[in-house]
Structures are given as C-alpha cells and as structure tokens.
Structure 1
Amino acid sequence: MIFPLSYIEFLTHFHGDRDFFECHEVLEDHWKKNGMKKNSVWVGLIQTAVSFYHYRRGNRKGAVKMMKKAIEILDKNRTEIYSLGISHEQLMPMLIRSCHDMQTGSPYEPISFPILDSELLTVCKERVRFLGLEWDGNDKLDEFIINKHIARRSLDKSRFETVKV
C-alpha cells in the first residue's frame, strides 16, 4: 500500500524521537494542503500527538481535552484507521487508557500505534534507524523537544529582529 510521506514522517517522529510537536506540524501541513474536513482521521492523529505533547509537559487539562477530541474523531473513522495500516481495535483502548491516566495524574507514558501493515512498519523503522534513533525507545528528556513551541517562538522572533548594516 502507498502512504503519504507526511504520514510516514508522523509515525517516525511519534515512535522515534517522540517529537509530538513535529508530528502535529507534518500532518497539519498534509491536512491543510489536501483540503480535508475538520473531522478527518488526520485531525484525530494530530490531536493525539498534541495531547501527548501536553501530557509530557504536565498540562493535564490540555492533554485530556485534546485526547477526548481525538478519541471521538478516531472512533468514528474506523475504516480510515485501517486504511492507514493501524488496528482500530487495539488503538482505541490505548487512547482511552491514556486519557484516563492523564485525568488521574499518572506519570507521562507514551504509546505506540498498533501498526498492522508490515511494509509501513518496516519503512518507518528503517527511517528511524537512519536518523540514529531507536523505534519505541525510551523518551529522551530533550528540553528542546519537550518545550518546542516555546523554543520555536523564540526562533521565530529572532527572524524578525532588525540588523543594522
């Protein structure tokens, strides 16, 4: 099966460097460029990544809000989930359990998408290895990745600063 590169990038970040902010970025670009609806499977995947971004940063309220929206969308898009090579039956309980953990203040724990498509899994794992990362490896507590929205805001501001010549 053929999958969009942005989806492969999403899975690579989700399982490789756990850069959930980047997961959001690559899929949001794909979603916007293809004029998809607000309740598409892509939005559910984006919301899942955003939820885990908030969860890891300790923003329980934001994490729960995003996860509830993701669960609602992904539950309604069963066929699309399967067409993306993911087991809907395995994914939904994972997301529900993660939402419960977020609500009860359990420590952050990432999930792994239950990828059924062996070719997709192979491609993603090879890409992760190529980047020098480990598939489903331990989360490296990289401050830049954990607080990427803050770091990016600082980088964006510096682009607009004027320089006297």
Structure 2
Amino acid sequence: MAAYNPSSTEKCAAELPDITTREDILMLVESFYTKAFADASIGYIFTDVVHMDLPRHLPIMADFWQTVLFKAGLYNRNALEIHFHIHAKEPLSLEHFNRWLQLWTATVDELFAGKKAEMAKVQAHLIAGSLHRRVTGRPASQYSTISLRPPTPAD
C-alpha cells in the first residue's frame, strides 16, 4: 500500500470548507459509502458479504471519524475485529483496501479542503495499511521489518 501523497484537486481549495462539525463528517461518510456501495470493485463486500445496513452504519462511522479527527472519544468498537470477521468471509486484498482509499480520498477532495481534510486522508491511509497488514497476519506497524541493531561493545 502506497503512502498517502497529497494531490491537487480540480476545485480550488479556497472554495471548499474544512471538516469542522459532525454534520460535515456525516456528509462525508454518507457520500463515501454511497459511492463504495455502488463500486464495481468493493461494493459487493458491503452489500453481499456484510449486508451492511447503511442507515445504521453511518452514525457509527461518524463516531469513528469524529474520534479520529477531533479526539471525541465516541467510537468504542473494535474495528480490527470487525475486519477480521469480514476477511474470514471474503479475503480483503490489497486491491480492496487501495480502492477504498481511492474512493475515500476522492470523496474528501470533492467536499473539503484544509487541515482536517488532509488529516482524514492521511489517517485513512494509516488505518487501512494497518488493517490490511493485520488481517493478512502481519504486524500492524509498517515499520515491523526494521530490526534493532545488535548491541555494540560500547552499549
């Protein structure tokens, strides 16, 4: 999974507001999930594998993103466990996570610009990378392959 790389958008950032309220987050997650449900690559995971109840799911995801972006402390579920259950039903590939990220990033860029909008994209990339690594049996950290140097006599 590639690291997040900011890109320019068609709309001028000055024309778009930043994410500042729960209403903004609700608009973002509703717009995103509407696209994700209809997407040829990942839509079936939401509709056929998970049978997600979107009206019930949106406030939960708003709690999640409000906690991520504003440290609101509203999300108290185990996102990793949920993704393990999904992965057991339908293996979640790197392509699935990358498509999720493409849709998320595009949706954020269509609706918002600013520090919180950038944070929403960066955090999504970090979270998706960690979830993908964990559901495929690897450590959560992207730095898990870095080993400690052996101690030297001076240590």
Scaled by the length of structure 2, what TM-score is found? 0.31
Tell which has more relative contact order, 1 or 2 (C-alpha 8 A, sep 6+). 2
The structure with the largest alpha-carbon Rg is 2
Scaled by the length of structure 1, what TM-score is found? 0.30
